[in-house]
Structure 1
């Protein structure tokens, strides 16, 4: 079964959707879209360093993405507006990554695959990494779910309940770094933030509880993978961007539905 490249691509995309759904919900609730974007851009630098040091690309991407996330967390609130800080670090990391790649003359690298993904080239080994990473992310978020929700709702409420908001931020940071590392092969560094945000945003009008939103986001993400791959196969379009387009259509559909409900309620 896994000899079929479309089957491997579908399984890889669903694995990323499962990891991105619960994390993407927190990204939407906490308004951390730029934070996810900055972490994803840093992954390109991690890829370059991993190739230069001849280590696992997954390990390099996780290390640099985590370093970027921790740097942003550490520098926030020290005289810089968050959007300014994220803009500087995100674009700087991407630029340094692209420059670093240009020095790897002895190594053949398809830069477009890391920028926009190459899901159709996913191997069995990649599948193991993607689903292993997804399992870690889902387990981590599930383990800290109540604490993360409390810290997201109110830092004062978290302190009153004996929860350290900075520790929960660290959990989200680690989960984000792992998700970026496993998703870079599927949708690429430039589209990872879209897979975090769009399915979760599309699920919001259909959800009554946080748990429902995470589950519906996972379903929308998985369906977007299947629809995007089918469209890419039929129309000969890039697979990664096609998946994101499918998710965007789902967001448009749920937004229209919310508008119709609001109009009916009025």
Structure 2
């Protein structure tokens, strides 16, 4: 059954959507969009280091993404201006990664696959790694859901409840690094943040609770994967960008529908 490349691609995309849905909600709630973007850009440097040291691409990208996320978290705790810091780190890591790849003449690298994803080339081993990483992230978020939500809503309330906001921030950092590593094959470094943010933003237009928003983000992410792959198959468009385009279309529809419903209810 797994000999069908479209089936493997769909299963891999759906697995990633399971993790990016709830995680993306926290990214939106905490206004961490640029943080996720910086972590994703650092993945290219991880690819270069992994190829240079001949280790797993997954391990290389996850380690570098985690290091980047940890650096940003430390700087944020010291009061650095995050917009400027994230801008410098994100683009520097991406540039260093692209330059580092050019110093590997013995290695033939299709950078577009890492920048924009190559979900149609997912192998059985890739599918197993992606599914394992996604389910681990989903399990981690479900396990820490109440604490993460409390720390996100109000840090003073979290302290009063015996919850360490810094610890919960570390949980999100770890989850984000793993998602970046597993999603790199799906949509690429430049579009990972979009897969995190757009489904969650679309789900927020009709969600009535944090749980319903997370579930809605998972569903929209899954629909985006399916719709994007169908668009790619029928119109011969790039698969990764097609997934993001489909997610953006859903966001537009839900935004318009939500606005119309609000106006009607306000009458």
Q: TM-score range by the shorter chain?
A: over 0.9
Aligned to 2:167: 167
- CA distance in 2 between partners of 1:37 and 1:26 (Å): 14
Instruction: Give the superposition deviation at 1:207.
Output: 1.1
| Alignment match, 2:72 | 72
Pairing of 1:98-247 with structure 2 (within 5 A) = 98-247=98-247
> 2: distance between equivalents of 1:40 and 1:232?
23
Please, which runs of 5 or more residues in structure 1 have no aligned partner? Answer: none
Q: 1:124, CA displacement in angstroms? A: 0.2
Shift of 1:135: 0.8
* 1:112-165, Cα deviation, whole Å (9 max, x unpaired): 000000000000000000000001100110111000000000110000011000
Query: CA shift at 1:262, angstroms?
Result: 1.4
> In structure 1, what is the Cα distance between the partners aligned to 2:78 and 2:177?
23
Equivalenced residues, count: 266
**TM-score for both structures, normalised by structure 1:** 0.99
C-alpha separation between the residues in 2 aligned to 1:3 and 1:119?
A: 14
Equivalent-residue separation in structure 2 for 1:218 and 1:72 (angstroms): 27
Return structure 1 stretches of 4+ with deviation > 3 angstroms. none
Question: What is the RMSD computed on CA atoms of the aligned residues?
Answer: 0.8
Write the distance in 1 (CA, Å) between the matches of 2:215 and 2:260. 23
- The Cα of 1:223 is off from its aligned counterpart by 0.6
Secondary structure of the corresponding residue to residue 140 of structure 1: helix
Alignment of 1:42-57 (within 5 A): 42-57=42-57
**Displacement, 1:234?**
0.6
Counterpart mapping for 1:88-107 below 5 A: 88-107=88-107
Alignment-derived partner of residue 38 in structure 1: 38
1:188-242 CA-partner distances (Å, limit 9, x unpaired): 0000000000000000122111111111110100011111100111111000000
Identify unmatched segments of 5+ residues in structure 2. none
Are 1:26 and 2:26 an aligned pair? Answer: yes
How many Å separate the matches in 1 of 2:78 and 2:207? 36
TM-score, length-normalised on structure 2?
0.98
SS at match of 1:206: coil
Cα offset, 1:79, TM superposition: 5.0
